[in-house]
Chain A
Amino acid sequence: MERSSRVAVAFAALAAPCVAMAAWTKSYVVEWNEPAMYYGAKTGVIDPGTDCPRGTNPEIDWVKVLMDAGYTREEAEWLRNPANPTRSAVHGQNQMAFRGKDRANVYVNPTSTPDPGLIGVSGTLAEGIDLDGNPKTGFTSPHGERGIDNNFYKTVGCWKTYRGPRRLSSGALQFNDSMRNGAWTTVIVIVGKGNDPMNDEQVTVGFYVSADKMVKDGNGNIARDYTFSIKPDAKYEAIFPARVTNGLIASTKPVSGVLREPAYWPDLELERAQIKLTMQPDGSLTGYVGGYRPWRDVYQGWVNARGPVIEALTWVQLPAVYYALRRNADYSPSGARGEKTHISYALRIDALPAFVMTPDASQQAAVVDSYKSLAPPGSTRMARVIPRVIDGLYIDPNATHQAGPDAVILPPPNVANANQ
């Protein structure tokens, strides 16, 4: 069955009476997506490169951090000892949170501690989209396009979770593996009114979610040409007016929209969002969705994922992430003088051809329109990323030892000796 197909006027009109007819459609399923991070090293994740001349942010000496926060060396070393019975090996050490002023929880109150510092990208190249239309601001693309706005990359591009060759950063691997195993599915429908799908001035691109899971082939790759029905969702949806020039689909007008992101905070809420996607000769679709996103969500996503675990595994101090995102935020929805609550961002997308059906699965989607009104009540409610996480800490009410600003760190000597 041909995906790029002309669809009868009456057929489209029946599906969505308020939408103009489409002359051609193409549809895809997103098989990989990751924050657009230009990788400037030759090999390795932590190695120096043009993006990060000193390599990624180094591993942290947590004993020193704790001592700087007022713990004694003995206390700090006890907290970092896996044999310490008060330390949950699986869930990290909750006491790590209480290193702010007066032992405030730094995940909830990151400014209770001075900025520990996060090394950002110092290179000049970046991937993404010129969001503000100003070639004098931002990075230069690897292909020479000026004005690439991607301060998210500038902020976290030297954080080892985000850094790595295409499709090989640990963060991308982790979340895409989850997506490809069924955690969520994003589909794309593209319709045009012209005669040539490769060159069309009136194109609309819709991003939706589907409840149908992707299927892997025998090699573990996502299989092409499977069928997915659009699942109406009151939140996850974005529709872009665009044009196609020699197969490059580019926005003609910024929009607002929400995508499902491969991250602990799953909501990618974009303001002044744009697309830059290329239809490849093999039938696939690659490129970027960019826009300005609330930076506090990013921070909160990492906190919700259990602050002590994230800090230990990814070699950052979360307050440093907070300060860096705030420092590099570059957009305010309320105007140029408003508080910079958003940061420029780009999501890199690889999509495969697929059959995308209307929500009732009665026909192939031939229009791009909002299905939000069909979403069931409550579908916007976001599930907690990890159950029982409060203020960045995994809470076990039955645990004998509870962390907190007033927690006694060192056990009685007999207990300590018994564990040696």
Chain B
Amino acid sequence: MKLRFDRRSVLKGILGGSAVHVGLPVLDAFLNTNGTAFASGAPLPVRFGTYFWGLGLTDTPTGGTRWVPTTVGPGYELMPELEALASLKDKVSVFSGFRAIGDGRANLVHWTGHASILSGVAPASASKFDAPSFDTKVADAIGASTRFKSIDIDASVSRQPVSYSTRSGSTFASPDATPLALYHRLFGPDFQDPNGENWKPNPSIMLRQSVLSAVTEQRHALMKGLGKDDQLKMDQYFSSVRDMENQLAVQLQRPEKAEACVVPQAPNDPTRISSVDVVNANTKVMAKLLAMGLACNQSRVFTFVHTSGASETYLAGQSKIYHQITHDEPTDAKLGYQPESSKLAGEVMKGLGAFLTELDAIKEGEGTLLDNSIVLAFSDTGYAKIHAIENIPMFLAGRAGRRHKSGQHIAGKGDSVTRVSLTAMQLAGAPIGEFGVGSMKTTNPISEVMA
């Protein structure tokens, strides 16, 4: 029997009066016999994303590095602050010694570094980029055929949503800043009713009934046409969606006590619990949702913010936030670095580890979703104590469908950060040969990591 579904199919249904859509993961039925490409011969799509965290990693002028491997090339040793990447080390390349070059422009703290990486030029002011962020170029190149050209996510639990994705340089994307918002984007309908202002279906109804129930008939039809392995995969897939719904439903339940006591203005005063454990948990949940969205081909491009440049995160129970500690903690004379800052950097990197693990958990063809992705993970600063824009930590994670010769350490020796950016763009398959302005203009990607 010929399967009525293909890799572009979307399960459709009606829920709460609104249309809902559920995308499909890449099933074996859609692939060739080797699982390396679609049955039509089209290659598995490479997904591209950026992952940002604030405050860099620990590498001090006195030589107390906690993240820069001592050897260059394949098989780098895992430095203490990279422990969270241990299980994925072979899929992650480390880039040290790259810098933002201002060409005379001042270092705008917690801004110039990542603005340079993303836009290729040191910005003139601290609220704008002077050029579009390059993720938009990649989205234009590889994201046009999906439901969302790009998905922007902020897991930071900051006071204001944070995104560094921009097409104009002055207006930044409005990210999904909660798991629920991301869930609605990926699996729910567009809640804006053209016939009524501010109307939205009750999300708790949506979750109780489950988005899957709205596509039951189509789901059953699909399952009948699948082989045993694909049926198992679909079961796992739908189960994981349901698990996620259950997690989100908990967040929807307003505690009895709070319901009775909260002052009227409280809902407009977002609770700020941005401790690093909460942010990391948030990162994991949102990464899981994103991974599903990517696997279902709803988008091929994403931007993800773990914590903002001037990060608000902190270790639960401490009175000082991470940002403050990077500045006020003296360098330990014996260790050569700031021990508390380093500890927090390690905690922050657990977020990246969890994020990548979720992408790697999705089986796709003969590998994983991460194997078919390339993620540029980077920060805003090198030595955070002085807001240095030299030696900004950057990583490329994922194998980009075998294009990325991953698992290497590349020492930049003062090269522009834009070389890493250009490498990421080309690994993602974007036809871009030149990036950056002035001293950061480059046509020279890092060939050592490109197959």
CA distance A170 to B104 in the complex (A): 22
Interface pair A415/B333, CB less than 8 Å apart = no
Interface pair B257/A182, CB less than 8 Å apart = no
Interface pair B106/A220, CB less than 8 Å apart = no
Q: Is B361 an interface residue (CB 8 A)?
A: no
Smallest distance from the beta carbon of B388 to chain A beta carbons, Å?
A: 6
Residues of B near A43 (CB, < 8 A) are: 333-334
Q: Which residue of B lies closest to A211 (CB)?
A: B104
Interface residues of B in 208-261 (CB under 8 A from A): 257-258, 261
Question: Given A168-B61, A182-B105, are A44 and B388 also a contact pair (CB < 8 Å)?
Answer: no
Q: Which of B102, B318, B327 contacts A181 (CB 8 A)?
A: B102
CA distance A81 to B321 in the complex (A): 9
Q: Is B1 an interface residue (CB 8 A)?
A: no
Interface segment out of the listed B187-195, B263-271, B423-431? B263-271
Interface pair B257/A80, CB less than 8 Å apart = no
Residues of B near A45 (CB, < 8 A) are: 330-331, 333
Interface residues of B in 297-318 (CB under 8 A from A): 310, 312, 314, 318
Residues of B near A81 (CB, < 8 A) are: 319
Residues of B near A413 (CB, < 8 A) are: 261
Interface residues of A in 128-169 (CB under 8 A from B): 160, 168
CA distance A187 to B268 in the complex (A): 53
Q: Is B368 an interface residue (CB 8 A)?
A: no
Q: Is A18 an interface residue (CB 8 A)?
A: no
Q: Is A414 an interface residue (CB 8 A)?
A: yes
Q: Which of A90, A160, A170 contacts B312 (CB 8 A)?
A: A90
Interface size on B, residues (CB 8 A): 51
Interface residues of A in 393-412 (CB under 8 A from B): 400, 412
Interface pair B331/A417, CB less than 8 Å apart = no
Q: Mark A38-64, 1 if CB is under 8 A from B, else 0.
A: 000001111100000000100100110
Interface residues of B in 319-336 (CB under 8 A from A): 319-321, 323-324, 327-328, 330-334
Q: Is B177 an interface residue (CB 8 A)?
A: no
Interface pair A46/B330, CB less than 8 Å apart = yes
CA distance A323 to B321 in the complex (A): 29
Residues of A near B321 (CB, < 8 A) are: 82, 89
CA distance A220 to B103 in the complex (A): 13
Interface pair A415/B262, CB less than 8 Å apart = yes
Question: Given A44-B330, A173-B386, A178-B106, are A216 and B257 also a contact pair (CB < 8 Å)?
Answer: no
Q: Is A314 an interface residue (CB 8 A)?
A: yes
Q: Which of B105, B258, B387 contacts A174 (CB 8 A)?
A: B387
Interface size on A, residues (CB 8 A): 46
Q: Which residue of B lies closest to A81 (CB)?
A: B319
Interface residues of A in 61-110 (CB under 8 A from B): 62-63, 80-83, 85, 88-90
Interface residues of A in 256-276 (CB under 8 A from B): none
Residues of A near B99 (CB, < 8 A) are: 220
Smallest distance from the beta carbon of A402 to chain B beta carbons, Å?
A: 13
Q: Is B358 an interface residue (CB 8 A)?
A: no
Q: Mark A309-322, 1 if CB is under 8 A from B, else 0.
A: 00011110000000
Q: Is A339 an interface residue (CB 8 A)?
A: no
Smallest distance from the beta carbon of B413 to chain A beta carbons, Å?
A: 7
Q: Is B272 an interface residue (CB 8 A)?
A: yes
Q: Is A213 an interface residue (CB 8 A)?
A: yes
Question: Given A43-B333, A90-B312, A418-B258, are A85 and B389 also a contact pair (CB < 8 Å)?
Answer: no
Interface pair B107/A178, CB less than 8 Å apart = yes
Residues of A near B103 (CB, < 8 A) are: 182, 213
Interface residues of B in 59-104 (CB under 8 A from A): 61-62, 99, 101-104
Interface pair A83/B332, CB less than 8 Å apart = no
Interface pair A170/B333, CB less than 8 Å apart = no
- Which of A56, A82, A212, A220 has the most CB atoms of chain B within a 10 A radius of its CB? A82
Question: Given A173-B385, A178-B107, are A85 and B262 also a contact pair (CB < 8 Å)?
Answer: no
Residues of B near A312 (CB, < 8 A) are: 320, 324, 328
Residues of B near A216 (CB, < 8 A) are: 101, 414
CA distance A214 to B333 in the complex (A): 32
CA distance A178 to B108 in the complex (A): 9
Q: Which residue of B lies closest to A165 (CB)?
A: B62
Smallest distance from the beta carbon of A51 to chain B beta carbons, Å?
A: 15
Q: Which of A63, A174, A182, A417 contacts B106 (CB 8 A)?
A: A182
CA distance A43 to B414 in the complex (A): 28
Residues of B near A315 (CB, < 8 A) are: 328
Question: Given A177-B388, A419-B273, are A89 and B333 also a contact pair (CB < 8 Å)?
Answer: no
Q: Is B364 an interface residue (CB 8 A)?
A: no
Question: Given A90-B312, A220-B390, A414-B258, are A213 and B107 also a contact pair (CB < 8 Å)?
Answer: no
Interface pair A83/B333, CB less than 8 Å apart = no
Residues of B near A168 (CB, < 8 A) are: 61-62
Residues of A near B389 (CB, < 8 A) are: 181
Q: Which of A63, A83, A417, A419 contacts B257 (CB 8 A)?
A: A417
Q: Is B275 an interface residue (CB 8 A)?
A: yes
Q: Is A373 an interface residue (CB 8 A)?
A: no
CA distance A183 to B105 in the complex (A): 7
Q: Which residue of B lies closest to A46 (CB)?
A: B330
Question: Given A220-B390, A415-B263, are A85 and B319 also a contact pair (CB < 8 Å)?
Answer: no
Q: Which residue of B lies closest to A92 (CB)?
A: B324
Residues of B near A378 (CB, < 8 A) are: none
Interface pair B332/A44, CB less than 8 Å apart = yes
Q: Is A195 an interface residue (CB 8 A)?
A: no
Smallest distance from the beta carbon of B326 to chain A beta carbons, Å?
A: 9
Residues of B near A400 (CB, < 8 A) are: 265, 268-269
Q: Is A218 an interface residue (CB 8 A)?
A: yes
Interface pair A218/B414, CB less than 8 Å apart = yes
Residues of A near B331 (CB, < 8 A) are: 44-45
- Which of A181, A213, A220 has the most CB atoms of chain B within a 10 A radius of its CB? A181
Q: Is A219 an interface residue (CB 8 A)?
A: yes
Residues of A near B327 (CB, < 8 A) are: 170, 313
CA distance A46 to B334 in the complex (A): 12
Question: Given A82-B319, A414-B263, A414-B266, are A220 and B324 also a contact pair (CB < 8 Å)?
Answer: no
Q: Mark A14-55, 1 if CB is under 8 A from B, else 0.
A: 000000000000000000000000000001111100000000
Residues of B near A82 (CB, < 8 A) are: 274-275, 312, 314, 318-321
Interface residues of B in 94-153 (CB under 8 A from A): 99, 101-107, 112
Residues of B near A88 (CB, < 8 A) are: 159
Interface pair B106/A183, CB less than 8 Å apart = yes
Interface pair A177/B107, CB less than 8 Å apart = yes
CA distance A58 to B324 in the complex (A): 16
Q: Which residue of B lies closest to A44 (CB)?
A: B333
Interface pair B312/A173, CB less than 8 Å apart = no
CA distance A82 to B273 in the complex (A): 8
Q: Which residue of A lies closest to B414 (CB)?
A: A218
Interface pair B414/A220, CB less than 8 Å apart = yes
- Which of B319, B333, B390 has the most CB atoms of chain A within a 10 A radius of its CB? B319
Interface pair A418/B320, CB less than 8 Å apart = no
Residues of A near B105 (CB, < 8 A) are: 181-182, 213
CA distance A89 to B327 in the complex (A): 14
Interface pair B266/A89, CB less than 8 Å apart = no
Interface pair A47/B333, CB less than 8 Å apart = yes
17 pairs, A vs B, C-beta closer than 8 Å? A43-B333, A44-B331, A44-B332, A45-B333, A59-B328, A88-B159, A90-B310, A160-B330, A168-B62, A177-B388, A182-B105, A183-B106, A216-B414, A218-B413, A220-B414, A400-B268, A414-B266
Starting from the known contacts A181-B107, A213-B102, A400-B265, 15 additional A-B residue pairs (CB-CB under 8 Å) come to: A46-B330, A47-B333, A81-B319, A82-B312, A82-B321, A88-B159, A89-B312, A160-B330, A170-B386, A183-B106, A218-B414, A400-B268, A414-B263, A414-B266, A417-B257
Q: Which 3 pairs from chain A and chain B are nearest by CB?
A: A213-B104, A44-B333, A414-B261
